[in-house]
Structure 1
Amino acid sequence: MAATKKSRALPYWLILPAGLWLLLFFLIPFLSLIATSLYDPDGSVLTGYHMSWHVGNFGHVLTTYGAHLWRSVWWALIATALCLVLGYVLAYTIAFKAGRWKNLVLVMVVAPFFTSFLIRTDAWKLILADRGWVVNALQYVHLLSDDGRILATPVAAIAGLTYNYLPFAILPLYTSIEKVDHRLIEAAGDLYANPIKAFGKVTLPLTLPGVVSATLLTFIPAVGDYINAQLLGSTNDRVIGADIQALFTSSQDYASAGALSVILLVVILVSTLVYVRKAGTEELL
């Protein structure tokens, strides 16, 4: 009898360390953030903040920073779409065409992570410089005017987001595509399906879990990213991450910073749940 009770309690003892970890580093900070968002807006670091359940903080930050929040979501959506397209092509090539070079190519995909995020982003300032080879090439083919530029524009910021988060899309897509039995694609061809139809009917549905995972792994960090906008974008194109960082540090307006952070978390959570609900598969659910 005692042995049976121990065996039943064993799973709970095993998950106890993870549960404590989530409690200390997720649940408690999250509740603290919610409390911060409800501080008295008239407080300060010098006079102190008081919990006043001031829900008006949310309306204030939405009115003030709503455009920045929308810009962050929009840029993240564009970068995610680009990562999915580029990542799917690269992952498909690695899985089915790379052959004995597969491991080497995967190492090349992961290799940028060994370099600082800031250094990788800052390097794009040289690539997209006004007299750089990218701008010169676009001006040569008349896709960019003679006085046109890419740096300090939304295009540069989105390019930085796409580059930095592309590996997060490639890896789950590759894992999902590699599981596809190539004989199923050949069978679709035997049934007179052209390559495009075979892709839509066979390959894409079977790799949908990888597509969903790649979308989430790219979109979620891209929404809160502000380094790319700060280094590559214009000062007029502020994003929500920069606002939160400035409110917490420079302005020390903890009430507004907390409210803006909670809104961003809710936006990410709701969009993630809706996306997984609509595009998720049984394997994910």
Structure 2
Amino acid sequence: MSALAHVPTPSGRATPLPPPRRGRHRLLPYLLLLPGAAWLFVFFAVPLLQLAAASLYDPSGSLSTGYALTWAFSNYPDAVQAYWPHFARSFGYAGIALVLALLMGYPLAYAIAQKSGRWKNLLLVCVVAPMFTSFLVRTLAWKTILSDNGWFVGLLRDVHLLAPDGRLLATPFAVILGLTYNFLPFLVLPLYASLERLDHRLLEAAGDLYANPVQTFRRVTLPLSMPGLIAGTLLFFIPATGDYINAELLGTPNEYMIGNVIDSAFLVRLDYPQGAALSFLLMAAILAVVFGYLRRAGTQEVL
């Protein structure tokens, strides 16, 4: 400490170094955070406050007569009463799609991470490649595949898995299938990241302790992959719940989700108070589900 704090002079005397400027070093982390904080404030916080104000407008107003902030909290219970089936349908479709994605995505991520060998990079590209195409184009492709005169429906009819007058398009099945396909990479990639770091010695140790493959998966593989599993399920479920493209293109008004109602409120009916109230209700419901899920799973598993 003394050798670093003093500098020898020609006369042989030690001159003490000036103390470090702690104030500047303390401000440096905050200065580095300033651009990101400003971005979030301008493009997230301000629009969110404007949306909150819009949800409290007088519902009797319009674009022609003008809206007024009258603190109309009744917009929220009115929105729930009018569109609670769409909320239930959104969470139901997203939940079923998540289960299907887990049944397909977990074995796929495990195979790529542990069994693919030199084909690992190619398989990862195959998982990510559909995302290079527009979300809209991918959904329209499924509309063609599931059409009544398409080859897939014709094949199901030929093998008697579908009635001669049966159809897949414009059904809940088509909407759930679209959600599963479009958001599957968001589940597979975090799972792959966790499974790729799995230590094979732990699996071998489980075998040495006479654990069968099912016990090894339940006691070793699954707990170690929980960070990727939790992150993947959240990345899948949150956008799937608020989606409206799949229901719009692959379903009918009977399959519309809450995202379709919000889209119609803002762009068709121009009912800004109701659209804003529905948006906040959807956000609150998703946050409640996410916090409940993290509380049950344990937030330490995500770290």
Q: Distance in 2 between matches of 1:78 and 1:88?
A: 15
What is aligned with 2:150? 132
* Structure 1: 4+ residue segments shifted above 6 A: none
Which is worse superposed, 127-136 or 38-47?
Answer: 127-136
| Equivalent in 49, 53, 56 of residue 71 of structure 2 | 53
> Aligned match of 1:65 in 78, 83, 88?
83
Aligned partner of 2:163 in structure 1 is 145
Match of 1:270 in 2: 288
Distance in 1, matches of 2:269 and 2:87, equals: 19
Identical positions, percent = 55
| TM-score (normalizing by structure 1) | 0.97
Give secondary structure in 1 for the equivalent of 2:236: helix
Q: Which amino acid aligns with 2:176?
A: I
Partner of 1:253: 271
| Selected match of 2:202 from 184, 188, 212 | 184
Q: What is the alpha-carbon distance in structure 2 between the residues aligned to residue 153 and residue 141 of structure 1?
A: 20
Mapped to 1, the partners of 2:51 and 2:300 lie a distance apart of 34
What amino acid maps onto 1:57 in structure 2?
A: N
Q: Distance in 2 between matches of 1:281 and 1:137?
A: 46
Displacement of 1:143 in angstroms is 2.5
- Counterpart of 1:233? 251
The letter for the 2-side match of 1:155 is: F
**Residue 214 of structure 2 aligns to which amino acid in structure 1?**
I
Q: What residue number does 1:5 align with?
A: 23
| Counterpart-to-counterpart distance in 1, 2:256 and 2:299 | 36
**What TM-score, normalized to structure 2?**
0.91
- CA displacement, residues 166-220 of structure 1 (integer Å, 9 cap, x when unaligned): 0001100000111110111121111111111100000000000111001100000
Match of 1:27 among 36, 45, 67: 45
- Of the two structures, which has the highest relative contact order with CA contacts closer than 8 Å and spacing of 6 or more? 1
The count of aligned residue pairs is 285
Contact 1:209 1:281 in 2 (8 A): no
The aligned residue for residue 112 of structure 2 is 94
Based on CA coordinates, which of the two structures has the bigger radius of gyration? Answer: 2
**The 10-residue stretch of structure 1 (200-209 or 139-148) with the greater mean CA deviation from structure 2:** 139-148
Q: Cα deviations across residues 23-65 of structure 1 (Å, max 9, x unaligned)?
A: 1111111111111111101110011111111010011111111
1:210-263 deviation digits (Å, cap 9, x = unpaired): 110011000000011110011111222211111101110111100101100000
Q: How large is the RMSD of aligned CA atoms in angstroms?
A: 1.2
Say which of 221, 231, 243 aligns to 2:261.
243
SS at match of 1:131: coil
Gaps of 5+ in 2: 1-18
